[in-house]
Structure 1
């Protein structure tokens, strides 16, 4: 059975590298899915949506792959959940529609585990248990061809953002969007805030090149 990688794609550096890696270094069928995450505390979805579409257009010059989008609105000012849990929820909706045997790939990398909450979640296998529960909830036999093992390629490759930037084409790096709190300049064009953790991490990675 054909192996299809479901890449959960945000338009940020990590997921961009993951998509580029699978397209250039493997011959698997690829399906990239972007969730337009919309909650008031971090109004970044328009920038992420635009980045995703630009990156997809660029990467389709490498080889063909499937792409889909969904939208997740959270009306509360404070969103206390984890984006990765929302990814799993939507992945369980997409995976039954994949051709062949589906394998879910998440773009976590080692710096994500600097947060104690993420270390505890990994220790307790929260993500893996949630994915198994979601797969169990899929009506039989639609979920039979979905792998229960989540792929974490960036962790397995032990690659950091500096190495990702060095490996990606420069124009592709510039298309990515990782800022969580974008601001508008005098012309109304979105600019990274430069203060959130993703902005600081990427700035440091670029300086180290």
Structure 2
């Protein structure tokens, strides 16, 4: 059985870039790809927009491009209750990603690497080190039950050397237009309306 790379996919520009590289680059042609999307329901209300993007992007890739087949699964995490006055916290997507990636790895020992949409731009943010270290701790803790005779899966920096604009330019135009990038969208007649204020 082929070794697997798990691609955590949100439908955003960065994770779409990671998936695109995994499918189009000869560097990964011998690897099986498993794509997983977390429907993360939180205070930002972008779960529906991401779901739309994921569905459209994967359909486009499968219908219009001659890439090898890949597996797809999805899960749901609802943290919308974490709001004032009872709670004063926010679960970042990197935390949910680390938790769910560990569960997938524990259930499929062919997974050797975890690919995400972390970029060079993310590493420039002041809060980046804390979030990265926290997500690594979550992943390591959740993998404590991993068989000792097997090497634990690790993160593979697919697009970590690229700025967001470089990832955008790398994608075909028809794929670019299907991605989602707004953190606080609104909805009108089943259409996603960006807030117009996002810098990411």
**TM-score using structure 2 length:** 0.84
In structure 1, the residue matched to 2:127 is: 117
Aligned: 1:127 with 2:135: yes
Please point out which of 148, 164, 171 is paired with 2:174.
171
Q: Pairwise mapping of residues 44-193 of structure 1 onto structure 2 (< 5 A)?
A: 44-60=46-62, 61=65, 62-74=67-79, 75-77=81-83, 79-98=89-108, 100-122=110-132, 125-138=133-146, 141=147, 145=150, 147-155=152-160, 158-185=161-188, 187=189, 189-193=191-195
Gaps of 5+ in 2: none
Number of corresponding residues: 189
Q: Deviation at 1:120?
A: 4.0
Q: 1:38 aligns with which of 19, 37, 41?
A: 41
Greater RCO, CA 8 A, separation 6+: 2
Moved over 6 A (4+): none
Which deviates more, 41-50 or 74-83? 74-83
Alpha carbons of structure 1 residues 101 and 70: separation in structure 2 relative to 1, 3 Å: closer
Which has the larger helix fraction? 1
- CA distance change for structure 1 residues 137 and 98 in 2, over 3 Å: closer, same or farther? closer
Which SS does the other structure have where 2:39 is aligned?
A: strand
Q: Distance in 2 between matches of 1:132 and 1:146?
A: 12
Q: TM-score of the superposition, structure 1-length normalised?
A: 0.81
